[in-house]
Chain A
C-alpha cells in the first residue's frame, strides 16, 4: 500500500517552557488537500515546520512521503514544495528573477513565465521583492512552492492578508494542484478556506487535534435552526416543548448589548423539518420572543470550533 503523504504521530515540540505542540497526530493523503485549521498560536506553523524539516521534534514520529524529514531532507527537498508564512526572498531580488532561480533548482519545472502570468505577477516580474505589495509577495512565494512540480506542497497561511481576488486565484491554484494529483497540506485560520478547499480538516487548538475529518463529518452534515434573541431565554422551557433528542445551544453576541445567538438541533434524520420549525416559533409566540434572523442552515466549521473550544476562531 502506498504510504500517506504526511503521517504525524504524537508530535511534541517545546520552546523553552512553552509547549507549542502537545502530542498531535494526523494523516494527510497523497493527492488530497488537508487543512490544519486553528487560531493563531495553536501550533499549526510549528507542526508544518517539523514536517518541512526546519525543526526537530522533541517527541513523536513524523513521516513525509514515507521518509523522516529530519534525516532524509536531501531526498525530500526535490519532491516537496514549501511556502513560508512570510519572507524567504532576498529583498533586492526581482520577482521573475527569484522564480527563475527556484525553477533552475529543479529538473522539470513549470515555465516560470507561465506561472507568473497565472498568478497575475507578469507586470511585477521586474520589481524587487521589497517593493511588491503583501499580496504579490504571497503569490510569488506560492509560485516558488509549486514551480518544481512537487508531489506534495506545504502552504503556511497561503491567503493571509490577500484581497478577495487574489484569494480566489490562490484557491483556484490549490484546486488545480489537487486535480493534478499534488498533495496539499495548508494551514489557515479562515474556516471558509478550509471548508472550501480541504478534503480533510484537522482542527488544532493549544497544540492538540480537537477534531479531524471531512467537512461533512465534522459538521455532521446536519442542519440546525438558528435565531437571535435577547439573552436569558428560558431554554429549559423551549426544550420541554420540543421532541426528545433535541438540543439548544446559545452563544453570546459580540458585545453585551447584542442579542444572543441560539441554535436548536434535533437528532431526527434530515434535521429540523417544517413541523419542528413551527414548534419553535409557536413557543416563541407564546413566550413573547421575537426570533430575529430565523433560518435553517448547515452547521459550519466555525460552529464546530466554537463548540469544541468555547472560543471564536477569528477573534483568537
Chain B
C-alpha cells in the first residue's frame, strides 16, 4: 500500500488531557445537574426532610422529650438529609451508572478514578449545602434556636463532613458490589431503617436498653447524637460520635477501594 501524507483537518491528532481541576469541575457540574434533575432523588433529599421537620414540629404526634420540638428535630433532619444525599442518592445513581456502562466509559477518558470520586464528592457536598440552607431556613421559620454559636456551627459542619465521608463510602461500596436493582431496594431500605432507628425523629433512649449500644454504633446515630450535643446542649460533640463516624468512614473507604467493581 502506498503511504499517504495525512492532510490537516478537523481530526488531525492533537491528543492531551485537560488539567485535572478542569476535568473534575466539568464532571462535578454534570453530576450535580443529573442529581437536581432527578425527581425521585429530590423527593428523598428535599421534600421528605422538609415535610418531616415541619410536620413533626407543628404536631405532637411523636414524643421528643422536654424542650422545643424543632430544637430536637432540626439536627435529626439535617442528619437525614446528609444520609439521603451521600448514601441513598449516591448509591442508587452510581449503581445505575455502573449498570449502564457509564463508569466503564468514563474509565476510557482521561478522567482518573480519583478525579471521578472527587467530582462525585463535590456534587454531593453542593447538594448538601443546598439542603442545609433550605432546612435551616425552614427550622428558623419554625422557631429553631440552636445552641453553640459559631463554634457549634463549626462542630456541626465537621460532623456533617465526617458523616458524608462515611455515608459516601458505604453508598459507593453498595453501588460497586451489588446489582443496580438490589442497590435501589437496599439503599431505600437502609434509609427507612436508619430513619426509624437512628435518632432522627425518635430519641434513641426510648428503645430497649439492650439495643441502645448497637444503635449508637450506627453512623446515623453518631451523627444525630453528635449534632444534638452541639446544637441542643451547646457542648462539644464528644469522642464517641466522632470515633464511630471516623471508623465507618475508614472501613467503608477501605472496603470500597478493595471491592468496588467498575462494570
Whether B10 contacts A92 by the Cβ 8 Å rule is no
Smallest beta-carbon distance A246→chain B, Å: 31
B66 within 8 A of partner (CB) = no
A102 partner residues in chain B, CB cutoff 8 A? 109
Smallest beta-carbon distance B100→chain A, Å: 5
B23 within 8 A of partner (CB) = yes
Whether A149 contacts B4 by the Cβ 8 Å rule is no
Whether B30 contacts A101 by the Cβ 8 Å rule is yes
B59 within 8 A of partner (CB) = no
- Bitwise, B1-17 to A at CB < 8 A (1) or not (0) is 10010111111111111
Whether B16 contacts A108 by the Cβ 8 Å rule is yes
* Complex alpha-carbon distance, A209 and B33, angstroms: 46
A66 within 8 A of partner (CB) = no
Whether B15 contacts A79 by the Cβ 8 Å rule is yes
A60 within 8 A of partner (CB) = no
* Complex alpha-carbon distance, A80 and B15, angstroms: 8
Smallest beta-carbon distance B183→chain A, Å: 15
* Complex alpha-carbon distance, A167 and B60, angstroms: 66
* Closest residue of A by beta carbon distance from B107: A54
Smallest beta-carbon distance B175→chain A, Å: 14
A271 within 8 A of partner (CB) = no
- Bitwise, A64-78 to B at CB < 8 A (1) or not (0) is 000000000010011
Whether B11 contacts A177 by the Cβ 8 Å rule is yes
B4 partner residues in chain A, CB cutoff 8 A? 31, 179
B110 partner residues in chain A, CB cutoff 8 A? 77-78, 105-106, 148
Number of A-B contacts (CB under 8 A): 123
Whether B18 contacts A105 by the Cβ 8 Å rule is yes
- Bitwise, B206-222 to A at CB < 8 A (1) or not (0) is 00000000000000000
Whether A149 contacts B12 by the Cβ 8 Å rule is yes
* Complex alpha-carbon distance, A97 and B14, angstroms: 22
Whether A101 contacts B27 by the Cβ 8 Å rule is yes
* Closest residue of B by beta carbon distance from A173: B11
Given the interface pairs A90-B34, A151-B13, the reply to whether A77 lies near B109 with Cβ below 8 Å is: yes
B111 within 8 A of partner (CB) = yes
B13 partner residues in chain A, CB cutoff 8 A? 79, 149-151, 180-182
Whether B26 contacts A104 by the Cβ 8 Å rule is yes
* Complex alpha-carbon distance, A177 and B13, angstroms: 9
Whether A146 contacts B11 by the Cβ 8 Å rule is yes
Near B by CB (< 8 A), chain A positions 75-115 give: 77-80, 82, 84, 86-93, 97-98, 100-102, 104-108, 110, 114
Q: How large is the interface on B (under 10, 10 to 19, 20 to 34, 35 or more residues)?
A: 35 or more
Whether A78 contacts B11 by the Cβ 8 Å rule is no
Query: Which residue of B16, B22, B112 has the most chain A CB atoms within 10 A of its CB atom?
Result: B16
Whether A176 contacts B9 by the Cβ 8 Å rule is yes
Near A by CB (< 8 A), chain B positions 231-263 give: 263
Whether B11 contacts A92 by the Cβ 8 Å rule is no
B101 within 8 A of partner (CB) = yes
A86 partner residues in chain B, CB cutoff 8 A? 101
* Closest residue of B by beta carbon distance from A146: B11
- Bitwise, B28-40 to A at CB < 8 A (1) or not (0) is 0010011001100
Interface size on A, residues (CB 8 A): 46
B16 partner residues in chain A, CB cutoff 8 A? 78, 106-108
Given the interface pairs A97-B33, A106-B15, A149-B14, the reply to whether A89 lies near B102 with Cβ below 8 Å is: yes
Whether A114 contacts B18 by the Cβ 8 Å rule is no
Whether A107 contacts B104 by the Cβ 8 Å rule is no
Near A by CB (< 8 A), chain B positions 16-68 give: 16-18, 22-23, 26-27, 30, 33-34, 37-38
* Complex alpha-carbon distance, A146 and B110, angstroms: 13
Near B by CB (< 8 A), chain A positions 104-137 give: 104-108, 110, 114
Near B by CB (< 8 A), chain A positions 235-265 give: none
A199 within 8 A of partner (CB) = yes
B108 within 8 A of partner (CB) = yes
Whether B104 contacts A54 by the Cβ 8 Å rule is yes
Whether A106 contacts B9 by the Cβ 8 Å rule is no
Given the interface pairs A101-B26, A180-B7, the reply to whether A78 lies near B111 with Cβ below 8 Å is: no
| From A74, A90, A98, A100, contact of B97 by CB (8 A) | A90
B111 partner residues in chain A, CB cutoff 8 A? 105
Query: Which residue of B38, B97, B101, B108 has the most chain A CB atoms within 10 A of its CB atom?
Result: B108
* Closest residue of A by beta carbon distance from B106: A88
* Complex alpha-carbon distance, A144 and B106, angstroms: 11
Whether A90 contacts B100 by the Cβ 8 Å rule is yes
A88 partner residues in chain B, CB cutoff 8 A? 100-102, 104-105
* Closest residue of B by beta carbon distance from A110: B10
In the complex, given contacts A87-B101, A101-B30, A176-B10, what are 18 additional A-B residue pairs having Cβ atoms less than 8 angstroms apart?
A31-B4, A32-B1, A74-B112, A78-B16, A84-B104, A88-B101, A93-B30, A101-B27, A102-B109, A104-B22, A104-B26, A105-B26, A106-B17, A148-B110, A149-B14, A151-B15, A179-B7, A180-B11
The 9 closest A-B pairs by CB, nearest first: A181-B6, A88-B105, A107-B16, A104-B26, A82-B108, A78-B17, A87-B101, A180-B11, A79-B15
30 sample A-B contacts, Cβ–Cβ < 8 Å, listed by A number? A31-B4, A53-B108, A54-B104, A54-B263, A78-B15, A78-B16, A78-B110, A88-B101, A88-B104, A89-B100, A89-B105, A90-B30, A92-B37, A92-B38, A97-B30, A97-B33, A105-B17, A105-B109, A105-B110, A106-B110, A107-B14, A108-B14, A108-B16, A148-B109, A149-B15, A150-B13, A151-B13, A180-B10, A181-B12, A199-B1
